[in-house]
Copies of this chain bind each other. A is one copy, B any other.
Amino acid sequence: MKPTPSHLAYVPFVSVENMMRLVNATGPERFMAELAGYIEEDFKRWPEFDKTPRVASHSQDGVIELMPTADSENYGFKYVNGHPKNMREGYQTVTAFGVLSSVANGYPILFTEMTVLTALRTAATSALVGKYLAPKGAEVMAMIGNGAQCEFQALAFRAICGINRLRLYDIDPAATEKAARNLIAQGFEVVKCASGNEAVEGAQVITTCTADKQYATILTDNMVGAGVHINAIGGDCPGKTELHKDILLRSDIFVEYPPQTRIEGEIQQLPEDHPVIELWQVMRGELPARRDAKQITLFDSVGFAIEDFSALRYVHDRIKGTDYFAPLDMLADPDDPRDLFGMVMRAA
């Protein structure tokens, strides 16, 4: 007699195809705006989370990381790799998947692709931070680095901050062409630029999002004028930064989780006691956001586990009652929990 797994054995699985269906049915801008709401909600209850820096396994060509976090109800983690050379070989630089579980019994309640979802949550986080830090009335964003993250950033900043004019630059003109094509189709006003210097002209927000795993200088000090908000996405692992140190010294630096950002972010260039401002305190109103029109604000984004947790919560809520998932037989569920062996034998 072959046992039929009970409902306890099944975990809802959101494949890449189903994630894309969900995003398209929702619309990417609404998806990211709603997701930003979940992220903001979780940042505002920051002290409730069990936080730990990500667990990274570095190799010559890249890194594989596990990013766990939990509140009293749910546990979530993301698996994510970062391999800059992948793109040249036809693979994604970053792929990811994740799991949300019940803290009460340890059982997974959602297993989902997170390559697409990470792009969405990264952009949603940037734009959420932009809502607090971008100068009033910002309309123009420079985007340096026009890879896989670029369009998501643009849409999120439009949905959440109202930015509709983009100035694009990438060392690879084909990347800029690709991003411009996609973004014009989305109704943006796009200027393709021949240099980073040209891109930042007249921009109130500067997004840097390049992929090389090395100390780079995407922005030099002279490129950053007073009053700008810098959204620095690409400096996100040890040895990888994008901004000249002098920019950091002129900026107020906002971070997700200091113990992780000091290792992985732009501020790895600074002494360990350099002051930073924690975004959860800004969102709770405990610390000021942008103070004045001259201040240079910098979001030193590295991506923190709580953002993935919010994304897992959002997807878990969104798929209820839909067919954007398939049940996956990934948990053993014997009739008698002590009789795992009997279950295996009876399956013969």
- A residues with CB within 8 A of B: 5, 8-9, 13, 15-17, 20-21, 23-24, 28, 50, 52, 55, 57, 59, 61-64, 66, 68, 70, 72, 75, 77, 79, 81-83, 86-87, 89-93, 95, 97, 99, 101, 103-108, 113, 115-116, 119, 146-152, 175, 178, 182, 185, 328-334, 336-345, 347-348
Contact = CB atoms under 8 A, between A and B. Distances in A.
B50 A328 contact: no
Dominant secondary structure of chain A at its interface with chain B: mixed
B70 A91 contact: no
B68 A331 contact: no
A92 B343 CA distance: 12
A70 B57 contact: yes
Nearest to A345: B182
28 contacts: A20-B343, A55-B55, A57-B68, A57-B70, A59-B72, A59-B103, A61-B104, A64-B101, A64-B103, A64-B106, A81-B101, A81-B107, A83-B104, A83-B106, A92-B334, A95-B108, A95-B332, A97-B330, A115-B331, A115-B340, A116-B332, A146-B338, A148-B340, A149-B340, A151-B341, A151-B342, A178-B339, A182-B339
Contacts of A28: 344
B64 A331 contact: no
Contacts of A345: 24, 182, 185
